[in-house]
Amino acid sequence: MTKHIDTVRLGSTGPTVSRLGLGAMGMSGMYGASDDAVSIATVHAALDSGANLIDTGDFYGAGHNEQLLRTALEERKREDYALSVKFGALRAPGGGFGGVDTRPEAIRNFLTYTLQRLGVEYIDIYRPARLDPNVPIEETVGAIAELIEAGYVRHIGLSEVGAETLRRAAAVHPIADLQIEYSLISRGIESEILPAARELGVGITAYGVLSRGLLSDSLRTGAPLAADDFRAHSPRFQGENLDANLRLVAELAAVAERHGVSVAQLAIAWVLAQGSDIVPVIGARRPERWAEALGALDIRLTAAELAAIEGAAPADRVAGDRYAAAQLAMLDSER
């Protein structure tokens, strides 16, 4: 699977990354059972295709994801991939979450274990997974800046923060990118957050581009979600909400069919068309899913085609919030 993938600089100060990134979260159980061998093959497929950005979190699978990536990357040259790592989420032995900790001493602790699990000497982009309500963002960013000076981190990123927090953070140290959900049907960043990022020279790494599989063919079979699939507890994937959303996806599928592409490819192409400062991070778990995502790079959408896509799947017709209430309450980007 060899393909030339264009590269862009992430924001005005960040690293040069591939136009598509690989998100590894789903390889560690968030969407039900996964196969390590298949996951490793997917990482290899992404790198062999020309991608270099790999996103993970130290809490994905309570460290499993980082250990998996170490195995996948052990024979690769360090300069051939860029690691984006989220930290701060606290885990419990039973699999639950216990809040966020981004105190400077906690950051140093998290990073120590991350470097060990990944088997690397530095992290390309290091970011708090969520805003810690008990720690000023200036303190968190300042602590990561010290780790940059020490050579353990190259760039600072943020995740799911609002425009005001982004401005405060950028006043302390340049921010390479903001990782945040953005898709055809999750467009909340367009009013304030995206303009602020562009004003500050902060790139966007967009996750949830396929709305956790909703904007694809994977859920149209009607098969129930596994109990350990977190989507089973997400408002958009429950009952009448799911039925309504699948009807919306069916309309989008009709547009995709006219173009001879899949729903997923059309959804990725739509995000790519929103600007070169937005890099979709695709949560592929199998090589064939990554190959499908690559096809979106060849799609060129006209203004009329973009309008037709948005008309088939208007954001205000989406049923249900993108997270459950308790998780939404943790998002600075939703305040």
- Residue 69's alpha-carbon distances to 21, 30, 84, 163, 208, in angstroms, are 14, 16, 12, 32, 21
Strand segments (E) across the chain: 7-9, 16-18, 21-23, 53-57, 82-87, 89-91, 97-100, 123-128, 153-159, 177-181, 203-207, 278-282
**Listed residue (70, 73, 1, 60) closest to 34, CA to CA:** 60
Name the DSSP class of 229. B
Catalytic residue among 60, 81, 126, 207: 60
Eight-class DSSP state of 162: -
Is residue 306 within 8 Å of residue 275, measured between CB atoms? no
Q: Evaluate whether 72 touches 44 at the Cβ level (below 8 Å).
A: yes
CA-wise closest residue to 169 among 156, 160, 180: 156
Closest CA to 114 of 128, 100, 103: 128
Residue 56: beta bridge partners?
Answer: 85
Strands 123-128 and 153-159: parallel
Active site residue 113: no
Residues with catalytic annotation?
A: 60
